[in-house]
Amino acid sequence: MSSDQQETTTTTTTVDGSGTTTMRATTAATTTTTTFSSQRLRINPNNEHRPESYEDLKLDFPSAVYSSLEKYLPQQILVSTRDDKVKFMTDIMLRHLPHGERSRAQRHSVYRQKIITNYQPLHKELYTLAPMQCFVPSFIKAINESSEKSFRSIISEPSPGVFVFDMLQPSFCEMMLAEVENFEKWVGETKFRIMRPNTMNKYGAVLDDFGLDSMLDKLMESFIRPMTKVFFSDVGGATLDSHHGFVVEYGKDRDLDLGFHVDDSEVTLNVCLGNQFVGGELFFRGTRCERHVNTTTKPDEIYDYSHVPGQAVLHRGRHRHGARATTSGHRVNMLLWCRSSVFRELKSHQKEFSSWCGECFCEKKEEKGRALDALRKKLVKAVSAPQA
């Protein structure tokens, strides 16, 4: 055995669909290395594990995301070094980050720092979430009780998977509108070139980019995730760990409408901040997986929603929707695209999504019907056959 080799025991770990770990050990003379490329996340979290803190590290994603994701690591990685865990989790999140957003994330740190260094906030109190100043009392009460019953007491579900409830105080909406206007004024005066919220909106601003990211993290983790854990567990509602927060603007000299699309999120929060406007209704047309995104809308999937300032709409990101023209006035909405890296990793190993995709559900129902018909015919044939 050479001086740079040693007798090592290599453990091969396989995680099956239930999260069960099977381990097989072999002994050989090898160079010492650590590879985790074949590992998969657990389906069910290890709730007894206490995650490490990553706040002291310079990371590609918020430190809270790593702590949240750590509970889903397979056992072999869970007991490895913190550096190994960071590399494994970073690789997973980068793998599920769209290519356009991946390059955007890589240059975002410098971009954001330039804004935060030079932009002077108008309402500094917005940057730390104060629930009593932000939310209406009924919403706070429901979150404090944190049960399906308390959530149902403030929510209406006018169409399956579309939840509507009063959320923001009028004063908070006014401050947010003023902050966005102040930011846009600064952008105009300094001729600073900003990134727009997405590829579909030509107007609006990314709230995370001018310092509101921590506030929106707290909004998602403490006030939205308790609800999505109840209503959207089938799309990672219990494991939301990152977000994209922004405002969009519609009306004269702004975007007019928004075409039919799905969001790059597991769950979307959409809250109207105001102003006076006519039109701009959201139209929903059923939830679909990627394979079925362009399939026909069924009559019971059609729903139109009219915006009310301070009122929130919560829906799956894969719920197909669009916005009709804002025919007069000026409408501003705040959106929070909530994402789960755990769900995205698990989804990459699935082929059908009948728990939330309307078309997958129909296909599964039809397949079950065909199987029952075949069994029925087989039984009838067996009964009708002459006895020997």
pLDDT (mean) for 350-379: 88
- Can you give the pLDDT at residue 27? 36
Each residue's pLDDT tens digit, 28-56: 333 334 455 567 788 788 888 888 888 88
- Can you give the pLDDT at residue 176? 96
Sign of CA dihedral 211, 91, 82, 75: positive
Each residue's pLDDT tens digit, 232-272: 999 999 999 899 999 999 998 888 888 889 999 999 999 99
Residue 66 has pLDDT above 60, yes or no: yes
Nearest to 195 by CA among 177, 207, 186: 207
- Can you give the pLDDT at residue 388? 58
pLDDT (mean) for 277-294: 94
Q: What DSSP line would sit under 65-134, residue for residue?
A: HHHHHHTTS-HHHHTS-HHHHHHHHHHHHHHTS-HHHHHHHHHHHHHHHHHHHH---S-GGGGS--HHHH
- Can you give the pLDDT at residue 36? 56
Residue 6 has pLDDT above 50, yes or no: no
Each residue's pLDDT tens digit, 130-150: 999 999 999 999 999 999 999
- Each domain of the chain, given as residue ranges in start order, spans 131-348
- Can you give the pLDDT at residue 12? 39
Amino acid of residue 105: A
DSSP H helices in 199-258: 213-218, 225-231
pLDDT (mean) for 161-174: 97
φ, ψ for residue 116 (rounded to 5)? -65, -35
Superfamily of domain 131-348: q2cbj1_9rhob like domain (2.60.120.620)
Each residue's pLDDT tens digit, 7-33: 333 333 333 433 333 333 333 333 334
Average pLDDT, the chain: 85
- Can you give the pLDDT at residue 202? 84
- Can you give the pLDDT at residue 10? 38
C-alpha pair distances (Å), 123 with each of 107, 204, 364: 27, 18, 52
Each residue's pLDDT tens digit, 98-134: 666 566 666 777 888 889 999 999 999 999 999 999 9
**What gap in Å lies between CA 284 and CA 305, rounded to an integer?**
8
- Can you give the pLDDT at residue 101? 59
pLDDT band at 286 (very low <50, low <70, confident <90, very high): very high
Residue 212 has pLDDT above 50, yes or no: yes
Sign of CA dihedral 125, 127, 131, 133: positive
**CA neighbours within 13 Å on the CB side: how many for 271?**
25
